[in-house]
Amino acid sequence: MQKWIQCFDSHKQDCLSINAHSKTSVKKLLELVELKLKEVISREPTLLVMVVGVPNVGKSALINSIHQITSARFPVQEKIKRATVGPLPGVTQDIAGYKIAHQPSIYVLDTPGILVPSIPDIETGLKLALTGAVKDSVVGEERLAQYLLAVLNSRGTPLHWRNLNNRRLEGLRAEFKETKEKTLRDLLPKRRKLPTESDIWHIEDLVTQVQCALYITFAEFEGNLEDESDLESLIEEQFVALQKAMKIPHKASDEARIMVAKKFLTLFRMGKLGPFTLDDVPDSHNPVA
């Protein structure tokens, strides 16, 4: 992220990294917008600010955070309208305006996600689909999961997971190997008295199991990551390991693989596997599009 900020700065393009769910973070964005509009504000009674981006990038979530902040500043405003948000692209289907300030009146427009008319290459399409900008059905969950594994492996990410929680992963490593001969009934998660806490622990444990499975397969891999056939073999091993880690029963091969892919993609998109930037920073000689 820091490299991308430096890249935009070097091309004299404003860039601000924010978390749409953090009020402190969004306030920094509002301050930048106010600074950029300072001259216009002095002579225009009404301003429109448009939020534009690819589908499912968090535009509506940002709009809602702006509403929460400005409602405290301007309590006389009408009741706040919330922009519809959702995990899939295409939730926002029309252009909606939301008032965020008085004197001058400033409106923010929440727009449907937009994409270029044609995606330039396959990898760009996979990245867009992986982030949810393109519906999974267009590419296929299994192919997306394979691409995500290829990215993680090429970056050596599983080794970083080991360093994050060495003791926990080493303990789970032995447990992971022992589960090979356990029955399906033994693998089913046990019920706990507090369902809410149980759900939280279940997700965290699942994340650790997934990280452990990928670390073990990666650490024991003796092939060449730059060789396409070797990388494919590693990914196949990881699919099998993920199925065990996620406690997915042995069903028809295709059905089990799709279940593995869906769960793996969900963990990635929830941020449970960590923050990732899929695009590499371009050469300093090339302008940022």
Domain ranges of the chain: 1-110, 122-181+196-270
Q: Which CATH architecture has domain 1-110?
A: 3-Layer(aba) Sandwich (3.40)
CA 71 – CA 83 distance, rounded (Å): 15
Residue of 241 and 50 predicted with greater confidence: 241
Mean pLDDT of 19-37: 87
Which pLDDT belongs to residue 168? 53
Mean pLDDT of 81-86: 53
Question: Beta-strand (E) ranges in the chain?
Answer: 46-51, 96-101, 105-110
Residue of 105 and 218 predicted with greater confidence: 218
Structure tokens at 285: 């000689």
Please give the share of the chain, as a percent, with pLDDT higher than 70: 75
If DSSP codes are grouped into helix, strand and coil, which group holds residue 266? helix
Cα dihedral 240→242→245→246 (10° resolution) = -110
Which pLDDT belongs to residue 40? 82
Give the other-Cβ count within 10 Å of 215's Cβ. Answer: 23
Q: Give 87's pLDDT tier (boundaries 50, 70, 90).
A: low
Residue of 160 and 227 predicted with greater confidence: 227
Give the other-Cβ count within 10 Å of 196's Cβ. Answer: 8
Most confident of 62-66, 147-151, 197-201: 147-151
Burial class (CB in 10 A: 0-12, 13-18, 19+), 88: exposed
Tell me: the pLDDT tens digits for 134-174? 888 888 999 999 999 999 999 999 988 876 656 554 555 55
